Chains A and B, each alone.
Chain A
């Protein structure tokens, strides 16, 4: 069965901390990778796409390791507003790339 696995957490960190999340996927044919953020009872919102070379957007850095089939998200200098659930999403080729969501990792940033 094709799955995306994440540590559910919660990760409870103080403001200013650096925190890292990992995600593993089982379908080696996966082509597209994303991190989404979901606030409680809200819709998922794209945080960043994940490229093979790794990419950075401000305090957020995403890495992809195809050989080991995992994706990581690093958040530096955590803010209270970063508290949310972070969803790993992997899209595998079908006719139009079917996305599979992980269950999400919960992050709580406290003062």
Chain B
């Protein structure tokens, strides 16, 4: 069964450093998403991406965040200057046609900012 993969599974970084989280969505999917989940809290939508551009973003997705699809398979989330409060699990998801359809989540990257 096809699945969304994410690397790395864990990342520890110093405050102020840049991190890039990587995702490989399911190959025939057209919509891609990033979510975060702070420990003990709810899953929060960050951004959706379609046709090589951002289609929606939340208030959380400020100027320190960016997304990119650098090639035909990878979908990345960059955090330019990490803060302590960026520590969370970051989930990538993809869906075949739109966010009205089932989204398939990757296993997540646990980011710890020290």
- Interface, chain A (partner B; CB < 8 A): 31-32, 34, 38, 41-46, 49, 87, 91, 94-104
Contacts and interface: CB of A to CB of B under 8 A. Distances in A.
Nearest to A97: B99
Interface of B: 31, 41-45, 48, 50, 55-56, 58, 89, 91, 98-100, 102-108
A96 B95 CA distance: 11
A96 B98 contact: yes
Contacts of B107: 42-43
A49 B107 CA distance: 21
A8 B107 CA distance: 23
Contacts of A45: 105
Contacts of B41: 103
B42 A99 contact: no
A43 B91 contact: yes
B2 to A, nearest CB: 14
Given A43-B105, A43-B107, A104-B42, A97 B91 contact: no
B48 A96 contact: yes
A98 B42 contact: no
Contacts of A103: 41-42
Contact of B91 (A34, A44, A46, A96): A44
B98 A97 contact: yes
A100 B103 CA distance: 13
Given A49-B102, A99-B103, A94 B42 contact: no
B103 A96 contact: no
B42 A102 contact: yes
Contacts of B103: 46, 99
A98 B105 contact: no
Contact of A100 (B45, B104, B105, B106): B45
9 contacts: A41-B89, A43-B106, A44-B43, A44-B105, A49-B102, A91-B99, A96-B50, A96-B98, A98-B99
